[in-house]
Amino acid sequence: MNQAPPRARLFFALWPEPALRRELARIQHERVGSGRAVPVANLHLTVLFLGLADPAQAMRVADGLRVPPFEVCLRREGYWRNGIHWLAPESTPPELSRLHDGLREGLAAQGHAFERRDYRPHVTLARRARPAPGRALPPLRWPVTDHALVESRPRPQGPEYRVLRRWPLG
């Protein structure tokens, strides 16, 4: 009898190194006035959300993808109607688009279905937030040298993220 492959709630992400994570935490502390702040350990920029998927299949697709290192410059701050308080780049670096598109196309070719929506790279600072008066955001430069496959495990206090594997860029 064949056993179905294990499935987990997965996403590919840019996972900040400790120094950048501390800087994101500082910005979060200064700017999140309402809502529920994302735990500092969970701060990331989603490259591609998979939902329930086979981790081995996702890893095989990522193994075949080559994208050079690049930089993301977070300089926009905003709120969506659903209460998400976010930081984002003014424009998406072409390499980030290549990474997103390559992963999406590779998984779609393996039969994975995705929602139809535009890719809007961002770092979520808080949920259920209300807009606050705008303040200038000094640019935060993020040198991207790798990306990660992350598992999201639901917990009563909010999701717990576990990095399953990282891939160097280049």
Active site residues: 44, 122
Cα 31 from Cα 25, distance rounded (Å): 10
Q: Residue holding tokens 């309402």? A: 34
What is the residue type of 57? Q
- Any idea of the CA torsion for 48, 117, 71, 62, to the nearest 10 degrees? 30
Q: Cα(130)–Cα(127) distance, rounded to whole angstroms?
A: 9
